[in-house]
Amino acid sequence: MTKYIAISNRRGGVGKTTCTMMLAYGFAVLGFQRVLVIDLDAQSSTSITMMGHERWRHAIDSGKTVGDLLLEMFGEDSSGFESYIAHFAGDVHIIPGNRKPDIDIIPSSFELDHREREIMLMGANQSPTIDQVFNQLQSRVGEILRSFEGRYDIVLIDCPPGLSNIAWGAIKAADYVLVPYIPDMTAEDNVGWFINRLAKLDGSRVVRVLPNRVQMNSPAHAGIMDAVHNLYQPLGPAMPARAALANALEFRASPQALRTKFGNSMPVIEGLFRAMLTLFETSPGGRSR
């Protein structure tokens, strides 16, 4: 069954793009699985990182972004998504064979927020209250995302900062929610607020926190992570603050081996991948059972 993983945090700059990218490569390269990345962040960092600027711009010019897809399919049959999928994303190859990993992506664009407003105006013509408009939009987003069931092993959803209705619909549709955070003085309150909001939903999704940009020898970071993890269960590995991870966000036109791309951060990819496999075994997401 397809497993849906939303990567989300109300705060920006915590590493959602990094986490999404590492998971995509981990599942596709190390696990030989079929992966779809859905970029719901109007900043489009994941799209540019996974596609390269030229290919991303072509998707925008062709009207083939996630905002265009949602606008077209809102209220319609959710079966016409194929033309919005960009196949074989990323800049790595699998050795031996030098073939591209099975990573597809539906890219975002800077216009996604505008598309959401257009969809809400469409809904306002059909629903008498704003709450009904919100609920209709969230439900429809979830239905569209779940329409990929069976086509992929893994669907990764990179959510925007905050909780837009599109993001909330994606989170409701997910089996797993990963919450990356940076261990600073705002972490405990920020993560707590977000997870408490998630707790008000039904209990079908599994939530884990994931510390990012961690100074591994910092007592301050260690203390903050202890405080957060005493309250909220971590996925497992902490993602260290390493130049290799930052450099890996650059798209290279010539594909390279995964170990070349990530250098001494390759163990982070492997640890994250193994932690997710363990999570699948020990905590199956309720929606996909």
The answer to whether residue 17 sits within a structural domain is yes
Percent of the chain with pLDDT over 90: 66
How does DSSP classify residue 63? T
Residue 115: pLDDT above 80? Answer: yes
Domain membership of residue 39 (yes or no) is: yes
- Number of domains present in the structure of the chain: 1
The answer to the question of residue 283 being in a domain is no
Q: Residues 3-27: what's their mean pLDDT?
A: 94
Greatest mean pLDDT among 70-79, 250-259, 273-282 lies in: 273-282
Q: Is 36 helix (H, G, I), strand (E, B) or coil?
A: strand
Instruction: Give dist(CA 195, CA 112) in Å, integer.
Output: 25
Residue 55 C-alpha from the chain's centroid? 20
CA distance 191 to 10: 8
Euclidean distance between CA atoms 155 and 157, whole angstroms: 6
The confidence score (pLDDT) of residue 77 equals 52
* 287 inside domain: no
> 282 lies in a domain?
no
Residue 285 domain flag: no
Q: Which residue has the higher pLDDT, 43 or 122?
A: 43
The model's pTM: 0.94
Residue 79 has what pLDDT?
54
pLDDT of 288 > 70? The answer is: no
Of 77-81, 197-201, 217-221, 228-232, the range with the lowest mean pLDDT is: 77-81
CATH number of domain containing 80: 3.40.50.300
Residue 266, Cβ density class (10 Å: 0-12 exposed, 13-18 middle, ≥19 buried): middle
Does the residue 41 lie in any domain?
A: yes
Give, in degrees to the nearest 5, the angle at Cα 65 between 64 and 71: 95
The rounded distance, in Å, linking the Cα atoms of 64 and 57 is 10
Distances (CA, A) of 262 to 20, 114, 215, 267: 14, 35, 18, 9
Model pLDDT, residue 289 = 38
Asked if residue 211 belongs to a domain, the reply is: yes
> How confident is the model over 43-54, as pLDDT tens digits?
999 999 999 999
User: Of all helices (H) and strands (E), which one includes residue 4?
Assistant: strand 3-7
Report which of 3, 15, 54, 263 is spatially closest to residue 158, judged by C-alpha positions: 15
Query: Where in the sequence is the domain holding 38, given as residue range(s)?
Result: 3-273
